[in-house]
Amino acid sequence: MDLWQLLLTLALAGSSDAFSGSEDSSKEPKFTKCRSPERETFSCHWTDEVHHGTKNLGPIQLFYTRRNTQEWTQEWKECPDYVSAGENSCYFNSSFTSIWIPYCIKLTSNGDTVDEKCFSVDEIVQPDPPIALNWTLLNVSLTGIHADIQVRWEAPRNADIQKGWMVLEYELQYKEVNETKWKMMDPILSTSVPVYSLKVDKEYEVRVRSKQRNSGNYGEFSEVLYVTLPQMSQFTCEEDFYFPWLLIIIFGIFGLTVMLFVFLFSKQQRIKMLILPPVPVPKIKGIDPDLLKEGKLEEVNTILAIHDSYKPEFHSDDSWVEFIELDIDEPDEKTEGSDTDRLLSSDHEKSHSNLGVKDGDSGRTSCCEPDILETDFNANDIHEGTSEVAQPQRLKGEADLLCLDQKNQNNSPYHDACPATQQPSVIQAEKNKPQPLPTEGAESTHQAAHIQLSNPSSLANIDFYAQVSDITPAGSVVLSPGQKNKAGMSQYDMHPEMVSLCQENFLMDNAYFCEADAKKCIPVAPHIKVESHIQPSFNQEDIYITTESLTTAAGRPGTEEHVPGSEMPVPDYTSIHIVQSPQGLILNATALPLPDKEFLSSCGYVSTDQLNKIMP
Amino acid sequence: AGSLLLLLVSDLLLYLFDRAVVLSHYIHNLSSEMFSEFDKRYTHGRGFITKAINSCHTSSLATPEDKEQAQQINQKDFLSLIVSILRSWNEPLYHLVTEVRGMQEAPETILSKAVEIEEQTKRLLEGMELIVSQVHPETKENEIYPVWSGLPSLQMADEESRLSAYYNLLHCLRRDSHKIDNYLKLLKCRIIHNNNC
């Protein structure tokens, strides 16, 4: 029944508007708004109607009711507070406010209900506006035209956020001062938010409003916050002067790299050489390294003729010429003595240094004989004693070369004799300068080497080497004058086992020969004996052939033994004893004075004309 | 002693409370939306609000109705209360889903929301029971909760009555989910943040 009464009242209230036909278009007071700002109190407002006209309503009253229990309580209570909320309002303080209990209010005038409303408090929650709005500058763009700001505010004081009674969300709006339309941002739960891309030269307005989450409506907007972004001229200046150093460096490096690569890979040799000059490799000017490799000595020799260290005596047509280049560092050493002196002197250091071979270019060696090369270098490092050994080895090597033809022609038995035969011939060609030995019958001025090893001092002026000037077709050696000979040392190399040669072979094979060659026909045994004894004066015997040794094929040893002790004058030349054939001569070792000193006899080679001169 | 215990398990509680608040907030949103949709579709402007302000089955519970009462209730009772409300809604939600699903031209949006609410409420209940075990381990399992008996009214033949019943149910659901959400936020600020959220 109560319910029906309520409904009737409502219907009457609703229809009263339509039925009001009074002159006074007086309107009934109505609820305008009920609001709870903090969910603890609420207030309701209604319109203030001044009734004009005949109908004079009494004071307006508000009655409310709420359902505490499951049953409706028709007990309408009157508004507890008509004042606090202003005129035409009813204020319900916290004791009258229940959240999840629905309320119904009615407005009466003179006992007549004019308006009624039912609600629950949550539905009418409208928070107060946020307070304490402020903003801070976040950053300014590089161009200096835009800026970002951070806007902060606080929740309304009456909203109990700390206890969690209310949970609010906010909405921020902003616009330029002269604009009309506000820009809205999405609702946020926090009390600060960044605003991006505001123009620096414009002034902005910002406002915020709040709402309870999930229920209620938005409250009123806060006070407007004016944002004026300062014109920071300093910033703009700095931005203008921002010099792209990094870009310049990067592009510079890139460009240089490109240019470098262009030059490197371009065909322009001139530019290439300008930027990257070729590193000079060690080489002789004008000499092609390939030429040296190929071994064309003739060409190399001609080229080397330009060289400073080139020796004029160098005979380019001699393939097997070989000599040691002595490096004379001081002028004193030059005048001191010959190489022989240096070799034989006790001053090891001197000889050692003197035997130093110059660097690769000047140390010319004969053609491609590794043995010779090695001995050449070995001579630099070893003592003079050993160096003396090396040289005869070298000479032996020569002889080996020279005898190549003979080897091919001869049988093996004569192999050993080959070097031996040649050596004496070489030796005999050597003449000792200071020795006043008469010489005769020599076509060219040759020096005989009279080496007396027993007296090293007397050998000071003896040259050890003889330069081979020519090689006969038969394989014999023709020596050139004025060369140091190594004859003295070569003696050691003579084969101990000298095969006795038949005269026949002896004569047949050689175009010319020395007395020593004839001696080879002598049986070996005495030779061996001889050699063992004769070391000091070994050379003497080999160089000079006594008539007796020639004529007698046997019984030599005895005479030969005596020879070392004898001091028979040793002739520089020999007379021809036997003229066997056009192929060869046997020289007679007679001590004949030599009319011309310059007439030197080589190792037994005497031409017919010379013979005529010589022969008395 | 209780506060000391809370300090030890603060991290776990914080996580649990955060999760509970999220769930309760979610459930309340869904309930509000579901009610709005239902009202808009079926009962708007038809004066059901007056009829619907009958009662909810959970009204018998002495739930705090304003902030003062919420501050006065002690922590333990508060938690028990929340658990009771959640428990009492298990059955109504189940029947709601069943009945809406069986309706002719079942509204999909309302149905999906109802299904979601039922699911999330179960999870929230589990979380709350876990919180209670952490905060008040000595609490005995309290199975007393208000029983819902509105099923017959949901199945009434009269459409008006049936709609009224649904309206009432959804209205109560919205209110109770809001209560739970509010209570949990209060408790979180009280327990975790010491009234300084």
Cβ contact B175–A120 (<8 Å):
yes
DSSP of A235-258, one letter per residue?
HHHHHHT---HHHHHHHHHHHHHH
Instruction: Write b or e for each residue in A488-497: b if 16 or more Cβ atoms lie within 10 A of its Cβ, otherwise e.
Output: bbbbebbbee
Taking CA atoms, A471 is separated from A475, A511, A514, in Å, by: 6, 11, 15
Residue A331 in 3-state DSSP? Answer: helix
The candidate with the shortest Cα–Cα distance to B9, out of B130, B190, B140, is B130
Interface test with A, best of B48, B65, B81 (most A CBs within 10 A): B65
Contacts of A30 (CB under 8 A, 6+ apart): A46, A47, A107, A114, A115
CATH number at residue B8: 1.20.1250.10
The candidate with the shortest Cα–Cα distance to A459, out of A446, A449, A468, is A449
**Which DSSP helix (H) or strand (E) runs through A542?**
helix A538-543
* B62 part of contact set with chain A, CB < 8 Å: no
* B95 part of contact set with chain A, CB < 8 Å: no
* A305 part of contact set with chain B, CB < 8 Å: no
**To 10 degrees, what angle do helices B108-135 and B90-101 make?**
170
Q: How far apart are CA A73 and CA A152, in angstroms?
A: 47
A272 in Cβ contact with A252 (< 8 Å): no
The alpha carbon of residue B11 is apart from the nearest alpha carbon of chain A, in Å, by 19
A373 in Cβ contact with A367 (< 8 Å): no
The torsion of the CA quartet A524, A530, A536, A538, rounded to 10 degrees, works out to: -50
Q: What is the mean pLDDT of residues A9-13?
A: 60
Whether the predicted pLDDT of A79 surpasses 80? yes
Cβ contact B25–A214 (<8 Å):
yes
The alpha carbon of residue B48 is apart from the nearest alpha carbon of chain A, in Å, by 12
Cβ contact A98–B66 (<8 Å):
yes
Percentage, residues of chain A above pLDDT 90? 18
Give the per-residue pLDDT at A460.
47
What are the tokens at A515? 């007395």
Cβ contact B186–A165 (<8 Å):
yes
What is the predicted ipTM? 0.85
Percentage, residues of chain A above pLDDT 70? 38
Phi-psi label, residue A8: left if phi above 0, alpha if psi -120 to 50, beta otherwise: alpha
Give the per-residue pLDDT at A68.
59
Chain B residue with minimum CA distance to A103:
B53
Report the predicted TM-score, pTM, of the whole model to 2 decimal places. Answer: 0.50
* A2 part of contact set with chain B, CB < 8 Å: no
* A116 part of contact set with chain B, CB < 8 Å: no
Contacts of B47 (CB under 8 A, 6+ apart): none
Cβ contact A214–B70 (<8 Å):
no
The model's pLDDT over B22-57, given as tens digits with 9 standing for 90+, comes to 999 999 999 999 999 998 888 877 776 665 556 788
A212 in Cβ contact with A39 (< 8 Å): yes
Q: For the ranges A48-57, A441-450, A456-465, B139-148, which has the lowest average pLDDT?
A: A441-450
* B194 part of contact set with chain A, CB < 8 Å: no
Q: How far apart are CA A114 and CA A14, in angstroms?
A: 8
Cα angle for residues A375, A379, A380 (degrees, 5° grid): 130
Of A3-17, A484-498, B73-87, the range with the highest mean pLDDT is B73-87
Contacts of A229 (CB under 8 A, 6+ apart): A137, A147, A149, A198, A199, A200, A201, A202, A204
Whether the predicted pLDDT of A77 surpasses 80? yes
Whether the predicted pLDDT of B64 surpasses 70? yes
The alpha carbon of residue B155 is apart from the nearest alpha carbon of chain A, in Å, by 22
Residue A83 main-chain phi, psi, to 5 deg: -105, -45
Taking CA atoms, A486 is separated from A177, A395, A401, A519, in Å, by: 120, 8, 17, 21
A57 in Cβ contact with A48 (< 8 Å): no
Instruction: Write b or e for each residue in B101-131: b if 16 or more Cβ atoms lie within 10 A of its Cβ, otherwise e.
Output: eeeeeebeebbebbbebbebbeebbebbbeb
Give the per-residue pLDDT at A108.
86
CB atoms within 10 A of CB A162: 14
Cα angle for residues B143, A165, B168 (degrees, 5° grid): 55
Residue A236 main-chain phi, psi, to 5 deg: -65, -40
Percentage, residues of chain B above pLDDT 70? 90
What are the tokens at A369? 């004989």
A499: confidence class by pLDDT, cuts 50, 70, 90: very low
A137 in Cβ contact with A229 (< 8 Å): yes
Residues of B in contact with A122 (CB under 8 A): 178
Average pLDDT of chain A, as a whole number:
64
Number of A/B CB contacts below 8 angstroms equals: 71
Q: How far apart are CA A169 and CA A156, in angstroms?
A: 12
Q: Give me the residues of B, 164-183, that contact A with CB < 8 A.
A: 175, 178-179, 181-182
Q: How far apart are CA B28 and CA B36, in angstroms?
A: 12
Residues of A in contact with B180 (CB under 8 A): none
Q: How far apart are CA B11 and CA B45, in angstroms?
A: 49
The alpha carbon of residue A217 is apart from the nearest alpha carbon of chain B, in Å, by 14
DSSP 8-state class, residue A99: S
Whether the predicted pLDDT of A80 surpasses 60? yes
Give the per-residue pLDDT at A6.
67
The correct answer on CATH 3.90.1150.10 for the domain covering A30-124 is no
Taking CA atoms, A204 is separated from A61, A190, A207, in Å, by: 47, 22, 10
Q: How far apart are CA A368 and CA B83, in angstroms?
A: 114
* B123 part of contact set with chain A, CB < 8 Å: no
Cβ contact A164–B49 (<8 Å):
no
> Which residue spans of chain A are classified as CATH 2.60.40.10?
30-124, 131-228
What are the tokens at B82? 């929340």
The model's pLDDT over A312-355, given as tens digits with 9 standing for 90+, comes to 454 555 555 555 556 555 554 444 455 555 555 554 444 444 44
Chain B residue with minimum CA distance to A117:
B50
Amino acid at B121: T
Residues of A in contact with B186 (CB under 8 A): 163-165
The model's pLDDT over A390-426, given as tens digits with 9 standing for 90+, comes to 444 444 444 444 444 444 444 444 444 444 444 444 4
Contacts of A428 (CB under 8 A, 6+ apart): A448, A514, A515, A516, A542, A543, A601, A602, A603, A604
Of A69, A102, A162, the CB nearest to B53: A102
Of A94-98, A493-497, B45-49, the range with the highest mean pLDDT is A94-98
CB atoms within 10 A of CB A82: 17
* A615 part of contact set with chain B, CB < 8 Å: no
Give the per-residue pLDDT at A192.
93
Chain B residue with minimum CA distance to A212:
B182
What are the tokens at A333? 């050493």
Chain B residue with minimum CA distance to A97:
B66
**Secondary-structure percent of chain B, ordered helix, strand, coil, rounded to 5:** 75, 0, 25
Structural Rg of chain A based on CA atoms: 69
Q: How far apart are CA A560 and CA A292, in angstroms?
A: 50
Range of B108's domain? 1-193
Taking CA atoms, A262 is separated from A268, A278, A545, in Å, by: 10, 17, 81
Give the per-residue pLDDT at A452.
39
DSSP 8-state class, residue B103: S
Is residue B181 a known part of a binding site?
yes
Cβ contact B189–A167 (<8 Å):
no
The candidate with the shortest Cα–Cα distance to A541, out of A424, A430, A446, is A424
Given this structure, which CATH class describes domain A131-228? mainly beta
- Pairing type for strands A103-109 and A60-66 reads antiparallel
Contacts of A483 (CB under 8 A, 6+ apart): A313, A323, A447, A463, A465, A466, A467
